[in-house]
Structure 1
Amino acid sequence: MSADNQLQFTVERHPNPTPADKIAAALVDPTFGRVFTDHMVTIRWTEGRGWHDAKVEARRPFQIDPACAVLHYAQEIFEGMKAYRGAEGKISLFRPQENAKRFRASAARMSMADLPEADFLRAVEALVDIDREWIPGGGDGSLYLRPFMFASETFLGVRAAAEYVFCVIACPVGPYFKGGKSAVTVWVSDQYTRAAPGGTGAAKCGGNYAASLIAQTEASQKGCDQVVFLDAAEHRWIEELGGMNVFFVMDDGSLLTPPLSGTILPGITRASIIELARREGLKVSETPYAFDAWQADANSGRVKETFACGTAAVVTAIGNVRHVGGEFTIGNGGEGEVTRRLRTLLTGIQRGKEPDTLGWVHYVA
């Protein structure tokens, strides 16, 4: 590191970058997570030495040993964030400091190396800067950023690794749900749970998502877009979707969302929605909510709207709910007024169309 204790990034541009016409073609209708930009950022950590070898380089495969610790003990964490092209071509990130903080919290829970927030932000900015031509302009497009870290030590033994690799990659994306659905259908899992008290539910680690895939597959087989998980102890209380937090809009205009209790990922979009809603004069309660109450309240009209939120899908209405005992519809089955209002306000701030009075927008020079 330099005298100011900051990592110095070596920049090695791709020798054969993607031609402009091919980038333009890729940005027309990008499939989520399939097309990637030319570069990546890597930083390595070694016990006794700390973080070193910070590089911006051509995106390439990793070479890892068959005994690489991550392959056997799943020490891995990641983040999801987006870069936007706003008015006059300005490039921005949305609340990246919160991603940096959550990344550190996930690393602590998984007993991994602690990456300083400033270095996390500089790594993300470095990739956005060198691959800024990949950021779509207008519409629902954005550049999805995936910072992640994994245990890279060659070692078979149940302990925290002594070597890690941090990396950032990026891909241009459009709407998360195909066809830009105004409302999605969800499946309430009666067999599988996402996390238990004392587990890794609040950490953004790959193992949480791996454990959720069988339930997501079941949801797909039921004709649903996403799965809803209930708590592990009583299998009664709504927690979150496979990759998103959830909100309920009641008939008095108030919002309800399950509380963070260590089993739910503390979503940055979730926190933003809570603050925006309160600033809009809406009451928001972080309160346990049972599945049977949701069904009864939807049928009686007490629940007027339900929506999911997260970085990838932003704010997406839930129109229909299927479960082992049948199904029910939320409101008219489409996007409700409060959901639309909050989605429009949030995306407006993210894309520079609404004033950022909260200091959430972070511009990349």
Structure 2
Amino acid sequence: MPRPHRDDVLIGLAGVLGGTLLWALGLHNNPPFFGTPQWLSVVALVVISGAELLRRTAPVTGLGIGTAAVAVDLCSGGLAATLLMYTDLIYAGVMYGTPATARRLPRLCVLATAVATAVPLAVVREPWALLVGMLVAVFTISPAWTGVLVRNHREEAAAARLEAERVALLAELDRREAVTAERARMARELHDMVANHLSAIAIHSTAAQSLKDPAATEEALGVIRENSVRGLAEMRRLIGLLRDARDEDHEPYAAPTLGALDSLLEQARSSSVPGGRDGGQDFVLYDERPAGSAPLPAPVELAAYRIVQESLTNALKHAGPGRVDVTLTHPTGGTDGALEVSVTSPYGGDRPTPLVPGSGTGLIGMRERVTLLGGTLDAGPVPGPSGTVWRVRAALPLGDGA
């Protein structure tokens, strides 16, 4: 059994000392009944003081012991300290007992009060007999319902604290999720906007080191400079996203659209290694959307542009010689259905090492973009008309989902 609470020990000691003083002064509540010796009131006092030690750890047991002690106390003359400790045991039974005990104990106190009122009134048949019931109500019903009120208040306070903790936890989870989502978004933007420039710089710097033709070296250095300038411009726009929107001095960021794919493919052509790389690569755009198609939602258009951009960057780094086809398909041309983006490039799986090492974050970023729009993405080698090709195919749904 757990140790009694320090306050319970102090209550028991105070009850023993106060009751002993009352007994020494002869201050009894009533004369003894049935010839019971008065010294038994001291025994009852000690027993109920011991029951106070159980008021928190075993309230029902303590109340049962206290009830027996009060019965002996009333028969042997009665001490006010014993009755006061009994009221505390009733309060503790409601306060610290089980929920079932907290519900039943007040009803039992009301029943005991009714019996203590009816029996003396039936026996004595005098109005003053009602005082017995009033005294019993004071020492039983009052502490029981006080315990009910205090317990309900504490339970409500505990429930409010739990709700506050739950709300705070959900808010923290939402904050962390928002931070994680924003970090992922910025990682995708950083990779998609800058990685292709850095890849071109890496490819052409390697070519400039290996080629002995001064003209080819000069052309490579020109491509390196062009991509470094474009990369700096993209970085400035990315930094603009991170700045406070209330700052009127920063340049607003304009999301790229599919109308800029021609420029993107021309940039890819210019990023090819001068002098041809294993026979060279060609980049071709097939826009198979119907004429007069409805404008695409901005998130879909941005995702499609970034998927093409990353696919072209991967083709420059990993693909073999040949043609790289970019195909846009939207059969309906309206505001429903899905925009299909397909990029096929010669499979470079037989190449011993890529021109630029890859980290795999590009495919991860593409999958994240497609997943956010509720679409699908397939990337991998597939059979082609003239051999194996690497195909990236994304379906980006339009409508309310986009």
Q: TM-score range by the shorter chain?
A: under 0.3
Q: Which has the higher strand share?
A: 1
Q: Which has the higher helix share?
A: 2
Which structure has more RCO (C-alpha within 8 Å, separation ≥ 6)?
A: 1
Structure with larger Rg: 2
The normalised TM-score by structure 2 is: 0.20
